[in-house]
Amino acid sequence: MCQGGLQEMQVLLSWRLIGMVVLAGALSGCGNSDSMESISGPTMGSTYSITYLRQTGLPAPAEVRVEVERILAEVDQQMSTYRSDSAIERFNALPANRCQTMPAPILELVRVAEQLSKQSEGSYDLTVEPLLNLWGFGPQGRGEKVPSAQALAEVRQRVGYQHLRIESDQLCKDAAVEVDFNSLAAGYAVDTIAARLEAMGIHKFTLGPRPPASSRRPAGNSMARPGASRLRAAG
């Protein structure tokens, strides 16, 4: 296993250990009717795991799973760059000077990304997917390789967050740019699930990916990133 993989595993295991200790401490002071519940499963080529303190009157794991997987499916349908029928991939397939009506979460993330791009003076950019594919790292990559100067110059014509704009509930582009939410979608999903758990009355929980058995990414398509996790142990 590479050093980066070991560090990643240590971080994930540390989060999980901290969460379990916090929850165990909370559980020790509760009545006999309280229990610690866990759910997990595959999502977007990766995995998710939730452990929460179930107190009297709080939902059972089956009900929590339904809500969590509904959110994950919605994020995948809207933001995945690995499925041609997602909202963002349909937008990516459009030529220049076109608009498409988008769900509110996509427009929200585009606004966030624009601020990040401005604050980083363009170092962060949602539209670099064509460059990632050219180098072989993107969802449409065909093996890692060093592209020619001509190929780079051609692809750069289709890169640049400034080519995106929002008009009411539509996302528009004045160049044939492609949007890649891989850097934001996992964090958005974590925050959305956490908010839903809170709304269900669950205030003590850990949320994140399951610790991997190795540094190898799970097979299949993936939007989620292993670093996206959240610990909540309030009250």
pLDDT by residue for the chain (235 residues), tens only, comes to 444 443 444 444 444 444 544 555 554 445 557 899 999 999 887 889 999 999 999 999 999 999 999 999 999 999 998 899 999 999 999 999 999 999 999 999 999 999 999 999 999 999 998 888 888 876 666 677 788 899 899 889 999 999 999 999 999 999 999 999 989 999 999 999 999 999 999 999 998 775 544 333 334 444 433 334 455 544 4
Quote the pLDDT of residue 132: 85
Quote the pLDDT of residue 44: 81
> What pTM did the predictor assign?
0.73
- Domain ranges in the chain with CATH number 1.10.3980.10: 87-173
> Which architecture, in CATH terms, is 87-173?
Orthogonal Bundle (1.10)
Quote the pLDDT of residue 60: 95
Quote the pLDDT of residue 17: 45
The residues, ordered by sequence, that sit 6+ positions from 93 with a Cβ below 8 Å of its Cβ are 84
